[in-house]
Amino acid sequence: MWISKSLVAVILGGGAGTRLYPLTASRSKPAVPIAGKYRLVDIPISNCINSNINRMFVLTQYNSASLNKHIKNTYQFSAFSSGFVDIMAAEQTPDNPKWFQGTADAVRQSLRHIQNNEFDHVLILSGDQLYQMDFGNMFRNHEKNGADITIATIPVTEKEATEFGILKSDEDHKITSFIEKPGYDKLPEWLSDTGQTMQGLGRNYLASMGIYLFKREVLFALLQDEVKEATDFGKEVIPHCIKDHKVYSYQYDGYWTDIGNISSFFEANLALTKDIPPFNFFDNEKKVYSRARMLPPAKISGSTLKNTLAADGCIIFAERVENCIIGIRMRIGFGSVIEDCYLMGSDYYETLEEMAYEAERGIPKIGIGDNCFIKNAIVDKNCRIGNNVRINGGSHLTDTDHALYVVKDGIVVIKKGAVVPDGFTLG
């Protein structure tokens, strides 16, 4: 229990999330559904709970209603526990009329609320990453080193290095230099000894994971005095700290991905369908928590399913479903073939009377109709896809933003609540 008394976690709710549009058109990035039944924010919260950290603040700003609702309905600790997951929405005050301007500014504006708790360290996490980490190990390394700040790092390849903050450390893992998103021409100067295994995979650069562990007094001094105008941790706060503070690297060698855009989101979800997925939801110790819904088991009739995850409450009559994530309450009609797709499901079931009423007016049922073919697509929640619809995503499609869908990097994203008529064809 010792770690829970020493530390509080701050989970950043993210900015506008424009690179994940249209999934973020009406919700924040951490509220985006993942793996059919979870939300992205469930990952850092579950990592905290599994690491015996039970005091968490989630800082929200953009499109935060669904995220706030999910947290309120999911994370309720016992009356005999000191644990909580508190939502802190951006607020204007007489001394600060601005909204959050960046990661560091969001934490700075929230310090007046966070400081009312007893703690010695602050763990700062992103709300839109997929990984499983024991923060207890990171915390023990932090204390052993007498660190002011510990940054979780991960070895990355040359191709990936240009997208991250890259750092170098000495033989004691003390960080000596840091650069944000270096160009290819500068990379030779930033090679690190990441260990024989990682080097064998071509992962020769140490990248910041955007996970920071601060001593309380150091964090407060930095944000309120030393760099009180800084708005971002990666670009401003961390580079400032390396010279005058004891900043250490904690190297993580497990699976981690930053859900930054539609392609990475799509790939991370479909990777879960592998026989041995890189992220393990089937772990007795590292449980992923989410909202407990009172839904029936999935019903599957006359279908062939291969490498597919089907969430609670699905009704599947499809001919074949392969390499897919099927979200809660998803309905797939007879004769349909679904390949390489993430279907997010729906928020409610339609009654037989509602279906009959809609059929008279030519409105498709919620879900996917009969005799459809859908490939390389994300179908957001509560979509109505009619019969004989063909959607074939791929590199042959150009990026576009249509009233019903968006195409990004060959991936077709059907917008939330879209009504796709019978016989519609794309690709």
What pLDDT score does 13 carry? 83
Hey, where are the domains in the chain?
2-271, 299-426
CA distance 125 to 11: 5
**Quick one: pLDDT at residue 3?**
59
Under DSSP, the state recorded for 299 is E
Length of the chain as a residue count: 427
Q: Which residues contact 322 (CB under 8 A, 6 or more apart)?
A: 305, 306, 307, 308, 338, 339, 340
Per-residue pLDDT band at 321 (split at 50, 70, 90): very high
Is pLDDT above 90 for 333?
yes
Better pLDDT: 98 or 228: 228
- Taking alpha carbons only, the member of 61, 63, 60, 59 closest to residue 25 is 63
Looking at every residue in the chain, the average pLDDT score rounds to 93
User: What's the pLDDT band for 60 if we cut at 50, 70, 90?
Assistant: confident
Q: Are 302 and 333 in contact (CB under 8 A)?
A: no
Q: How confident is the model at residue 77 (pLDDT cuts 50, 70, 90)?
A: confident
% of the chain beyond a pLDDT of 90: 78
The answer to whether 46 and 133 have CB atoms below 8 angstroms apart is: no
Give the highest mean pLDDT range of 79-93, 180-194, 406-420: 406-420
> Band of the pLDDT at 21, cuts 50, 70, 90?
very high
Does 20 have pLDDT greater than 70? Answer: yes
pTM, two decimal places: 0.93
- Residues 419 and 15: their CA atoms lie apart, in Å, by 29
Instruction: Identify which has the larger pLDDT, 2 or 416.
Output: 416
Say if residue 215's pLDDT is above 50.
yes
pLDDT tens string 112-125: 889 988 899 999 99
Question: Nearest Cα to 163, choosing from 264, 271, 267?
Answer: 264
Give yes or no for residue 1 having a pLDDT over 60.
no
Q: Three-class SS of residue 204?
A: coil
Average pLDDT on 293-322 reads 97
Tokens coding 30: 């951490």
Whether 223 and 108 have beta carbons less than 8 Å apart is answered as yes
Mean pLDDT value of segment 396-416: 97
What's the average model confidence in pLDDT over 219-236?
91
Residue 2 has pLDDT above 70, yes or no: no
Burial of 362 (0-12, 13-18, 19+ CB in 10 A): exposed
Question: pLDDT of 179-199, one tens digit each?
Answer: 988 999 999 999 999 988 999
Fold of 299-426: UDP N-Acetylglucosamine Acyltransferase; domain 1 (2.160.10)
pLDDT of residue 287: 94
For the cut 80, the answer to whether the pLDDT of residue 264 exceeds it is yes
Range 100-115 burial, b when 16+ CB lie within 10 A, else e: bbbbbbbbbbbbeebe
CA distance 4 to 50: 11
| CATH topology (fold) of 2-271 | Spore Coat Polysaccharide Biosynthesis Protein SpsA; Chain A (3.90.550)
Strand intervals (E) in 231-303: 247-251, 256-258, 299-300
Residue 4 has what pLDDT?
Answer: 61
